[in-house]
Amino acid sequence: MAIKSRAPILLNGPTGAGKSFLARRIFELKQARHQFSGAFVEVNCATLRGDTAMSTLFGHVKGAFTGARESREDYYAAPRRDVIS
């Protein structure tokens, strides 16, 4: 069912459950079915610090907050990335 849909998918589970493997496989199957291009990008959200998580995922412009010395592109930016694990 996940392969047929273009809707986002949330994979949740304990370490070692195979989330990364499943995410990559779903990406490959959806890419073939819906014929889209893009790269699979894996992000371990557990390693993101709370105060910079939003900036890391969604980017920021120079001067947006103290310490933002340069703009940062987000994980969704070009080249288009369709899956974040």
Tens digit of pLDDT for each residue in 26-84? Answer: 888 888 877 777 777 777 888 888 777 888 888 888 988 888 899 988 776 645 555 55
Half-sphere exposure for 61 (CA within 13 Å, toward CB): 1
Q: Can you give the residue ranges of every domain in the chain? A: 39-85
Of residues 41, 71, 65, the one with CA closest to residue 52: 65
Question: Is the separation of the CB atoms in 11 and 23 below 8 Å?
Answer: yes
Q: pTM of the predicted model, to two decimals?
A: 0.60
d(Cα 5, Cα 28) in Å, to the nearest integer? 13
